[in-house]
Amino acid sequence: MRPLFNKVVIVGVGLIGSSIGMNLIKRKLAKEVIGVGRRRANLREAVRRRAVHRFVGVQNFKPLQARLSENDLVILATPVREIIRCLGVVSSKPLVMDVGSTKSSIVKAAEKNRIRFVGSHPIAGTEKSGAGAGEIDLFRKRVCILVPSRFSGKMDAPKIRRFWGLLGSRVITTNAARHDRLLAVLSHLPHTIAYTLVRTVSRLVSKKECGQLAFGSLKGMTRVAESPPEMWHDIFLENRDLVLKGLDLYLAELAKLRSFLLKKDSARLLGYLRQSQKIRLKMK
């Protein structure tokens, strides 16, 4: 099989970026994979783990770009706001793709700059980060959401779709608004819960007590609070309106349950829990 791409430049060689790189090299989907980043130790780790062939510092991103052609791919794999900044300086010759967790403001920035861009969001993140956490099977059996933009070529979205398929992902295509609406509820809201719950727990229970009684439900619920704060800062702010909408509805549900407890309203409380259980059982 001929490689899908000639050169691939990965900007941001973290968990997602390095895992993509490993696939590009191992599956021979690109002739050359180049990492771009700030932290040299992380970039060196990426080379050591065969996630990139070589790397350059961010200051060399521009001269590197000048040499890219139409068969090349630039992958923006930094936190969302950095992706948006990159879209202001990226060349429009190679195909550009991102892996950000929000889409509306990213696609808007790409279209404003008339970039040949296909947005994608592999639902494959974990609480880990950095090139050291990358793994070749990260995208296997996971969903990847594709959000094409106005200035991508006719064959660009199908090529990116094929690329994710080769990495083992199930690809769903939708628009940026729907992506952000779904993600606000299914991912961003749960993350606000994890980040706030760990603080609540730490105010009421000592570290020792918490360690002694290792509760599965609490641990599972707060695991994602280990995710990189910089990444989630950007996601929350870029998808702010929809996150706030979800948060307000959630606060209203909590207030309802709270009032049943406050009033010792046994019947309503039981009805509420029964309906919740019913909803969850259908959620499979």
Binding range to a copy of itself, per CB under 8 A, among 11-19, 55-63, 161-169, 249-257: 249-257
Is 1 or 204 the residue whose CB approaches a copy of itself more closely?
204
Q: Which of 198, 32, 230 is nearest to 130 (CA)?
A: 230
Long-range contacts of 105-108 (CB under 8 A, 24+ apart): 105/80, 105/238, 106/80, 106/176, 106/238, 107/147, 107/149, 107/176, 108/176
**Binding to a copy of itself, residues 199-228 (CB under 8 A):** 199-205, 207, 209-215, 217-228
Nearer residue to a copy of itself within complex by CB, 60 or 196: 196
Which x/- pattern over 84-123 shows residues binding a copy of itself (rule: CB under 8 A)? Answer: ---------------------------------------x
**161-180 residues near a copy of itself, rule: CB under 8 A:** 172
Q: Which residues pair with 37 in a beta bridge?
A: 57
- Least Å distance, CB 197 to a copy of itself, is 7
Q: Which stretch binds a copy of itself (CB under 8 A): 49-57, 68-76, 97-105, 258-266?
A: 258-266
How far apart are CB 77 and a copy of itself at their closest, in Å? Answer: 20
Q: Running DSSP on this structure, what letter comes out for residue 169?
A: P
- 3-state SS class at 57: strand
Q: Quick check: 56 and 34 in contact, CB under 8 A? A: yes
Q: Which amino acid is at 41?
A: A
Q: Which stretch binds a copy of itself (CB under 8 A): 26-34, 102-110, 150-158, 193-201?
A: 193-201
**Binding to a copy of itself by residue 133, rule CB under 8 A?**
no
Q: How far is the CB of 60 from a copy of itself (least distance, A)?
A: 28
Helical (H) or strand (E) element with 230: helix 229-238
The residues near 223 (Cβ < 8 Å, ≥ 6 apart) are 127, 194
